[in-house]
Each structure stands twice: as C-alpha cells, then as structure tokens.
C-alpha cells in the first residue's frame, strides 16, 4: 500500500523497464494506487512476472515487449496500451543500460547502446505518449528516472551521465512546450538503489559495493519502493503545479560529496 493509495483510480500509465528493479516497483505502486499499467522492456518473461505480481495483488496490467530504441515499436507500445485500457494518462521513462568503463576506452558501439536506450528511447516514448495525450485532449504526466551524475558527472559513466543529462534537458524543454496541453514532465534522481541490474552493472564486487555505500550519508542503499513512493508523488495530482523539475532521492549522497572531505560536523 502506498501513500497515494486510490488516487490513480481509472488512470493508465506506461512504465518502460517495468520488468525489474525500480521500474517494477513503480508499476506495482501505481497499480496498488488504482492505476492500470502497461510494462515495456525487451524480455517478455520479466514483464510477465510483473504482470503476474500486479494481478495477484488485484490490479490490472499489460506486458508489451518493446525495445525503446525502435521508434516504431514505441508507437506500437503506446497504441497497444491505449487500445487495451481505453486511454493514457502518463509515462515513466525508466529503461536504461549501464556499465562502468573509462570514457577514453569506450567504443562507439558502447556509447551508442547506452545513449540510444536512455536518451533516444526516452525521447521516442515521451513524443509518442505526448501525441496520444494531445489527441485525447486530457493532459497527463511524464516522469523520467535519471541520476545525480547528470549534473555532477562521475568517472566511468560518461555514456550514462551524458544521456541522463540529455533527458533532464529534454524534460525542461518539453515541460515548457507541453504545459499549455496540461502535460507535466519531471525527473527523479535516485541514489544507489538495491536492484539486481544496478548491482551487476555498477557494484559487482563486495569491495565496489562498500565503496558506493561509503558515499551515502544515510548509510544504506535505497529500497526500490522508496523510489516508487516519490515517483507517485511526482506523477500524481499532489504535484499538479510542478513541472520541469528533478527530485533527488538519494539519502544525501550527492550533497555529501564535500570538497574538504568532511561528512560530519
């Protein structure tokens, strides 16, 4: 049960990367709060698992296997969700790819893979959903999951940091363009969050995990449900005048990077 329980009754959202981690948690939280959810990702089995979890809890969901790098597949995703549920109310751009590599050693293919998923995929999804909302004349809301290194950068993540920064710029630009249509766009920047995907991509060894943990003033990783709760606030009517913003939910991680190294008074 979430703080937003019942506030999404009759609404429909698409969640990309909804087959795992944070995306699954957001999809489940939306469904718990009354929304119908279409989950998209490349792996059908993971999407089916999310749908089964939501249905078991009494909710309604649809799995639409989709590679967000393909704009035609994204258009088909939006049509499938609108056809099944009759309308759309918003989108969560959560799909991502990541791996740690020094920028100087990254191949053009590696750069393209991450930028295509994170930046191009978020744009294709946002464009397709915004067109549908304009057609419906209903307004709606789009949330993109980024990371604080979009503004402070981080060694080893040049592809992802650049792509997430692009998503933030896209959000701010379209927030202004689409405000007259009643469409709000915001970002959320989670700190280190306990998911299998991020664990494998970013802190695959115990040593790396401890290094990351040492940077978090709150002293722990986030639970995906904590990111989902904040996401529902941004997607829902409680944030009805909030657009073009980014909410950082990171246990103080990025503020904790003090120049002189002190983490306590």
Ligand X SMILES: CCCCCCCCCCC/C=C/C(=O)SCCNC(=O)CCNC(=O)[C@H](O)C(C)(C)COP(=O)(O)OP(=O)(O)OC[C@H]1O[C@@H](n2cnc3c(N)ncnc32)[C@H](O)[C@@H]1OP(=O)(O)O
Contacts with ligand NDP, residue ranges (CB under 6 A): 16-17, 19-23, 40-43, 46, 66-69, 94-97, 117, 121, 145, 147, 190, 192-193, 195, 197-198
Q: 145 touches which of ligand NDP, ligand X, none (CB within 5 to 8 A by kind)?
A: ligand NDP
- Alpha-carbon distance of 58 to 164, in angstroms, equals 34
Minimum distance between the CB of residue 114 and ligand X, rounded to whole angstroms?
A: 5
Residue 31 phi, psi (nearest 5): -65, -40
Note the Cα 181 to chain centre separation in Å: 22
For ligand NDP, which is the closer residue by CB, 165 or 179?
165
Rg (alpha carbons) of the chain, rounded to whole number: 18
Give the count of residues interacting with ligand X (CB under 6 A): 24
Among 160, 186, 231, 248, binds ligand X (CB under 6 A): 160
* Residues β-bridged to residue 184: 141
Three-state DSSP class for residue 239: helix
- Alpha-carbon distance of 42 to 218, in angstroms, equals 34
**Residue 121 and residue 96 in contact, taking contact as beta carbons nearer than 8 Å:** no
- Alpha-carbon distance of 128 to 130, in angstroms, equals 6
- Copy the structure tokens of residue 92: 């969560």
Note the Cα 176 to chain centre separation in Å: 20
Q: Is 199 one of the binding residues for ligand X (CB under 6 A)?
A: no
Stretch that binds ligand X, among 49-57, 176-184, 189-197, 228-236 (CB under 6 A): 189-197
CA separation (Å) from 13 to 50, 90, 115?
Answer: 14, 5, 24
Three-state DSSP class for residue 128: helix
For ligand X, which is the closer residue by CB, 96 or 232?
96
- Alpha-carbon distance of 148 to 169, in angstroms, equals 13
Minimum distance between the CB of residue 68 and ligand NDP, rounded to whole angstroms?
A: 4
For ligand NDP, which is the closer residue by CB, 74 or 174?
74
Minimum distance between the CB of residue 23 and ligand X, rounded to whole angstroms?
A: 10
For ligand NDP, which is the closer residue by CB, 16 or 28?
16
H-type helices in 108-157, by residue range? 108-115, 121-136, 149-152
For ligand X, which is the closer residue by CB, 62 or 163?
163
Stretch that binds ligand X, among 1-9, 53-61, 100-108, 255-263 (CB under 6 A): 100-108
- Copy the structure tokens of residue 20: 């795992």
Q: Is 7 one of the binding residues for ligand X (CB under 6 A)?
A: no
Q: Is 101 one of the binding residues for ligand X (CB under 6 A)?
A: yes
Residue of 13, 149, 241, 260 marked catalytic:
149
149 is catalytic: yes
| Active site positions, annotated | 149
Binding site for ligand X (CB under 6 A): 96-101, 107-110, 113-114, 147, 154, 156-157, 160, 191-192, 197-198, 201-202, 212
């Amino acid at each position: 049960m979430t703080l937003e329980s019942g506030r999404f009754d009759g609404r429909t959202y698409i969640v990309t990367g909804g087959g795992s981690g944070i995306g699954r948690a957001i999809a489940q939280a939306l469904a718990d709060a009354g929304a119908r959810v279409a989950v998209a990702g490349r792996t059908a089995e993971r999407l089916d698992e999310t749908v089964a979890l939501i249905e078991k809890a009494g909710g309604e969901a649809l799995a639409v296997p989709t590679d967000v790098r393909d704009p035609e597949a994204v258009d088909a995703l939006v049509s499938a969700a609108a056809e099944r549920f009759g309308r759309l109310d918003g989108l969560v751009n959560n799909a991502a790819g990541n791996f740690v590599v020094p920028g100087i050693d990254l191949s053009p293919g590696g750069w393209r893979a991450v930028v295509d998923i994170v930046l191009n995929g978020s744009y294709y999804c946002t464009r397709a959903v915004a067109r549908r909302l304009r057609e419906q004349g209903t307004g709606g809301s789009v949330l993109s999951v980024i990371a604080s290194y979009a503004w402070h950068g981080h060694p080893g993540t040049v592809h992802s940091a650049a792509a997430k920064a692009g998503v933030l710029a896209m959000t701010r630009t379209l927030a202004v363009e689409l405000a007259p249509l009643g469409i709000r766009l915001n970002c959320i920047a989670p700190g280190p969050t306990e998911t299998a995907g991020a664990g494998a991509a970013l802190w695959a060894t115990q040593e790396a995990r401890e290094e990351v943990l040492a940077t978090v003033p709150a002293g722990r990783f986030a639970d995906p449900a904590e990111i989902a709760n904040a996401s529902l606030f941004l997607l829902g009517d409680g944030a009805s005048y909030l657009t073009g913003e980014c909410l950082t939910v990171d246990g103080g991680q990025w503020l904790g990077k003090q120049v002189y190294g002190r983490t306590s008074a």
